[in-house]
Every structure is written in C-alpha cells, then in structure tokens.
Structure 1
Amino acid sequence: MNKQKHTKLRLYLEKNGIKHKDVAQAMGMTTNRFSQKINRNKSDFTLQEASLLCYVLDINMNDFFYNPIVPKTGINKISI
C-alpha cells in the first residue's frame, strides 16, 4: 500500500453517506481505531481487516488497496 492516507476510501464513505462509526461497528472495532487506520495514524489495515472492510462495504479490494507502483529495490542483476 502507498504511504498516503486512504483518500479514495474516505471519499467513497463520504460520498455514500457512510459513517466511520457504522463501518467500525460492522468490523468489530472502535470508531477511534477505525479512524486511526483510515487516516494511517499509528496503524494501517491488516490484510484481514482490508478484506473484511471490502466485504462490509461490498467494494472491490483492488479499487481501494492495490498500488500498481513497485518500488525500485536497487538490485541490478541476480547472480546464480
């Protein structure tokens, strides 16, 4: 996942009138914890949480959590 806040997800919730507390409750976490995760403050969604979130919201995980940019690793070639 990229290092930015989950802006696309936040906009989706806002546009659809979905409150953080309702999503948090459906996921079995506190509103404060959900807020920390969606704002990437001290924590991020685990794969299991992201999967549950997508199930609860009936959204595609790739649309909100997939980052097609692969960082460079500094490896130029592999010796075998």
Structure 2
Amino acid sequence: MLAQSVLKLLQKPNSIEIEQKKNAHYLEEMPTNAISQELSQQKKYKVLNNYFFKNKDIYISKHNRFAPYPTHSHTFLEINYLLKG
C-alpha cells in the first residue's frame, strides 16, 4: 500500500536526524540562500519567501526530528503537524 510505504520512508531517520538524536542540537537544514544573512549572524532567522515559493504557491517539507527547531520568522503561513507519536 502506498500510504504505508510513504509512512515508512518518513519514519526512517536521515543523516541529520541521526546526528541530532545523538547530541540533541539543531543542525542547519536550510540552504544559506533561504535565510536572511544579515539576521542569521544574530541567531535571528528570517526565512525568505523567494526561496520557497519560486514558481509555486505551496511548499511542503519535512522538518528533521530530535532537536529543538530555532526560533524564526517569515511572512507566510506555516502549518506543522505531528505525523505519529
């Protein structure tokens, strides 16, 4: 069944998640051109719309697990959900 194979894929830890599970520290997963560089030096993350919405209206992604996600801001609506747990 397709739904079961997608669930299995999402549950399998990737390389970032394996490292974050070891030390519980966030490893940057976003490309540098997705974050405002002027604020990242101050540990204030401003996510840039043009990276995520270039030629599209909706962007779907999976956040890595096992470490606190840094505080950030942006001008688009972000919806998070917990898949399992």
Q: TM-score, normalised to structure 2's length? A: 0.24
Larger strand share, 1 or 2:
2
Report the structure number with the largest CA radius of gyration: 1
Q: TM-score, normalised to structure 1's length? A: 0.25
Larger helix share, 1 or 2:
1
